[in-house]
Chains A and B, each alone.
Chain A
């Protein structure tokens, strides 16, 4: 199969997945015996007001009608209006996603640099000190809850040492950069607001470390095992026998081949981070997509849940598609 038709086939499958996701989320949101309108109006609101509000929002219509209304909205590019904020869901997502994207990029960057570096070292120096260290680092990273790591780092670097700021994306008294993309680092550079750049960078450090650490641990483990596999293969022995330097063998011959499974993990990690990391966002007061979706879930604000979930599904599918395309380009066997 040619690369073009491979991509078209995957895009078609992606549409099917998105339709499946929207049906599933709609059914789940409707099956739960909850009352979003009552929750939003508050515990004191009398039942007549709640019923009136449901009628006005069309929540008393048959389920099928509600579903058709919703799906036709999506096809027109309208994700609906949040029951809680009374604002278009698309606008809310556009508001919160850049914060999540910026944090995910930084966390992924950190995790890739640290993960691959440690993975290579522990494969090359197998069973030496650095390998043991990497293993402990990985186990801790995978097993420590981010909630705990986050608070601990906050306590140390913000509260005790005072090196890094506490919460949010920017200091209270720092003028935010002009909005072009919603990514503060990029926007502050574009608007030449270096004070905002410095402050935004400082605010990114702790949440990126917290998020990036567990991802780095997984990447380090995969890189190590993949490197060990490759290092045992004949072409590496041949390369060594030809007298090529150790560094060249590792970086040019072994690493390139070992990176294929690592690319998958990086793609999945990045996709996962883009959903928003609700715990990290909560500890660091980060105005991201994760908190938006979780809060919507608690109130059963179903247009927001469905809009948010669909958006995440699109992002996740796109990231996977890109990973698959890279794969397919690298290894033609994948296109079969």
Chain B
């Protein structure tokens, strides 16, 4: 009996053979659970946006130029800008002979349809178009196809970088009007149809998304800039980080997308294997925010005390294992107008003194809410112990993101640990949420109703002179850093376990979480 079982096991073992990944195919193990849709008018999640960006080209695209993320020409080869009163008129000239992946010609009509589609569907990305002054109500007057090769946009007067960045993919991705309309159901403008396949003109085509199994993309031979080196990309759904790490070590996948900080640290130590660690500063930040409408946090000195109490180094080194950069500014390092400001270092005496001056010599009790990830829990624990040192008793409440955002958006929290992903590579994308309460974003959620900061953020957003604009952001950052509701913990560093057969991943990932360029990747 036992001999038979052993024989069957051995037979099974010998008949099974595992294919290694082919040379023209990139296989990624990733948790695709966060994917909601691959429709450019709806998609808003970081990794899914990278997939969408690879399948849809826009008038512009975001590209790192000398380390700075910059909007550069894509489907539009050039543009002109004219100021007409309080309206800015943008004229974009499309390249000649553009076609979609299916061979249909791409015209200004498709661009106009795609932009109007974002506004009509009115989901997550729509507010960004609204920021430009393009709305569902005025779109027929503001988004116009002048002729088959010319698109005209009429926007609010804004710094050029803002407009050119927001109209880039994913949400500015151009869809094939004819095919999308032919496949719409109940006048949904093809929203259901484009959920799991693509009809664009990008370097890749999304062939299939089998939920909780895999996303398959293949190269687009008709891409205007030439077919990319990779012929096929498979994103295999592997929700567990440890399993992802085993798969990449074994060589069954080329990239493990979601490894843990512990695994990344392990990889950093053991150089020279068949996989390498790739890192890049992320276009996001992590912060502690205090609700200025709640009790002690109404007092600026209390908020300052908290900023001095936090041990930033401990969070970066023990929670993030060094995969984070100290940056107490709301802007990421290297952005237009960025100035290095890291004035806060853990100083318990100073924090206690500030609390005493504010009338809280014995501290107080506060609730910290955060989401349910391990990183957030560990950050909260460190902040809790830091606050205990200055007499503040902090109670940590972890909750699912659905519950946390409900509370946060209703200004119902006292203190929160959260993060912010940047929507477009311009200081405006950060100054507005963090400093201008009038846009009802983070400053508003934390009831930091500061008119001076709001005015500065607003003026800098519409200033066309770069020198003046940079000066305004400098003033805003210096004003904001000590007075605001936020203690910025760090700028995260993204990390991936990548097979040594993969070439160019370091360049592809530059600018993540805002952009990701699969065309820069090839295999040995």
Q: Using a CB–CB distance below 8 Å, which chain A residues touch chain B?
A: 32-36, 38-50, 52-53, 84-87, 92, 95-96, 151, 154-155, 158-159, 161-169, 171-173, 198, 202, 205, 282-285, 287-288, 291-292, 295, 298-300
Complex Cα spacing A87 to B195, Å: 10
With both beta carbons as reference points, the residue of chain A lying nearest to B37 in the complex is identified as A86
Of B8-16, B325-333, B456-464, the one touching chain A: B8-16
CB of B111 within 8 Å of the partner chain:
no
Residue B120, interface by CB 8 Å? no
| A298 contact from B400, B418, B419, Cβ within 8 A | B400
Contact in complex: B123, A53 (CB < 8 Å): yes
Given the contacts A43-B420, A44-B421, A86-B195, A50 and B409 also touching, CB distance less than 8 Å: yes
- Decide if A46 touches B439 in the complex (CB within 8 Å): yes
Interface assignment of B405: CB less than 8 Å from any CB of chain A: yes
Residue of B nearest to A169 (CB): B213
Q: In the complex, A287 Cα to B346 Cα: how many Å?
A: 46
- Tell me the chain B residues, 444-501 only, with Cβ under 8 Å from chain A: none
B12 touches A202 (CB 8 A): yes
A171 to B22, CA, bound (A): 14
Contact of A287 among B16, B22, B213 (CB under 8 A): B213
| 13 A-B residue pairings within 8 Å (CB atoms) | A38-B409, A43-B421, A44-B423, A46-B127, A46-B441, A159-B249, A163-B13, A163-B16, A169-B213, A172-B21, A283-B243, A284-B243, A300-B400
Closest to A287 in B: B212
* Residues 372-409 (chain B) with a chain A CB within 8 angstroms: 372, 399-403, 405-409
Q: Which residues of the partner chain B approach A159 to less than 8 Å between Cβ atoms? A: 246, 249-250
Contact of B243 among A42, A86, A167, A198 (CB under 8 A): A167
Given contacts A95-B211, A166-B243, contact A298 B402 (CB under 8 A): yes
| CB of B342 within 8 Å of the partner chain | no
Asked if A164 meets B16 with Cβ closer than 8 Å, knowing A41-B44, A41-B124, A291-B239, the reply is yes
- Interface readout for B4-38 with A: 1 if CB under 8 Å, 0 if not? 00000100110110110110000101000100110
Residues from chain A with Cβ under 8 Å of B406 in the complex: 33-35, 38-39
Given contacts A45-B124, A47-B440, A86-B191, contact A40 B36 (CB under 8 A): yes
Q: Is B307 an interface residue (CB 8 A)?
A: no
Partner of B246, one of A48, A155, A161, A205: A155
Query: Complex formed: what's the CA distance from A87 to B196 in Å?
Result: 11
Q: Which residues of B are found within 8 Å of A87, using beta-carbon distances?
A: 192, 195
Verify B237–A287 contact, CB threshold 8 A: yes
- Interface size of B by CB at 8 A reads 62
Consensus secondary structure, chain B interface = mixed
B27→A172 contact, CB < 8 A: yes
Q: Contact: A35 with B402, CB < 8 Å?
A: yes
Q: How far is the CA of A40 from the CA of B399 in the complex (A)?
A: 15
B123–A43 CB distance below 8 A: no
State A285–B28 Cα separation when bound (angstroms).
13
Of A49, A162, A285, which one neighbours B239 at CB under 8 angstroms?
A285
Known: A46-B440, A49-B124. A168 touches B36 (CB 8 A): no
Tell me the bound Cα distance from A148 to B313 in angstroms.
33
Q: Which residue of B lies closest to A170 (CB)?
A: B213
Q: Do B36 and A38 touch across chains, with their CB atoms under 8 A apart?
A: no
State whether B246 touches A86 (Cβ < 8 A): no
Docked Cα-Cα span, A168 to B239, in Å, equals 10
Q: Which of B119-142 contact A (CB under 8 A)?
A: 122-124, 126-127
Interface: B357 (CB within 8 A): no
**Contact: B402 with A38, CB < 8 Å?**
yes
Q: Are B236 and A285 in contact (CB under 8 A)?
A: yes
One of A34, A47, A287 near B403 (C-beta < 8 A): A34
B45 touches A (CB below 8 Å): yes
Q: Is the CB of B18 within 8 A of A171?
A: yes
**A-B contacts at CB below 8 angstroms, number:** 167
Q: Hey, which chain A residues are within 8 Å of B246, CB to CB? A: 154-155, 158-159, 166
Is B252 at the interface (CB under 8 A from chain A)? yes
B18 A85 Cβ-Cβ under 8 A: no
Q: Does B238 belong to the interface (CB within 8 Å)?
A: yes
Cβ contact within 8 Å between A32 and B124 = no
A47 close to B409 (CB less than 8 A): yes
B12 cross-chain contacts in A, Cβ below 8 A: 163, 202, 205
- B240 located at the interface, meaning its Cβ lies under 8 Å from any Cβ of chain A in the complex: yes
Q: How far is the CA of A205 from the CA of B439 in the complex (A)?
A: 55
B159 within 8 A of A: no
**In this complex, which of A41, A158, A166, A169 has the most chain B Cβ atoms within 10 angstroms of its Cβ?**
A166
B192 / chain A contacts, CB cutoff of 8 Å: 86-87
Residues of chain B lying within 8 A (CB to CB) of residue A288: 212
Contact A43 B27 (CB under 8 A): no
Quick check: is B214 within 8 A (CB to CB) of the other chain?
Answer: yes
Q: Hey, which chain A residues are within 8 Å of B407, CB to CB?
A: 33
CA distance A85 to B15 in the complex (A): 39
B123 to chain A, nearest CB (A): 7
User: Are the C-beta atoms of B33 and A39 separated by less than 8 Å?
Assistant: no
Residue in B124, B212, B237 whose beta carbon sits within 8 Å of that of A42 in the complex: B124
On whether the beta carbons of A44 and B420 are closer than 8 Å, the reply is: yes
Within 8 Å of chain A (Cβ to Cβ): is B234? yes
Determine the distance from Cα of A264 to Cα of B426 in the docked complex, in whole angstroms.
64
**B149 on the A face (CB < 8 A):** no
**Interface membership of B247, Cβ < 8 A:** yes
A158 to B16, CA, bound (A): 11
Cβ-defined contact, A32 with B19, below 8 A: no
Interchain CA distance A161-B18 in the complex, whole Å: 12
Residue numbers in B under 8 Å from A41 (CB-CB): 44, 123-124
Report chain A residues within 8 Å CB of B13: 161, 163
B317 CB–A CB distance under 8 Å: no
Note all chain B residues with C-beta closer than 8 A to A42.
44-45, 124, 421
Residues of B close to A298: CB separation below 8 A: 372, 400-402
Given contacts A167-B243, A202-B12, A282-B239, 8 further A-B contacts (CB under 8 A): A35-B409, A38-B406, A39-B405, A41-B124, A46-B439, A96-B211, A172-B21, A285-B239
* Shortest Cβ distance from B14 into A: residue: A163
With an 8 A cutoff between CB atoms, is B242 at the interface? yes
Set A85, A161, A171: member contacting B36, Cβ < 8 A? A85
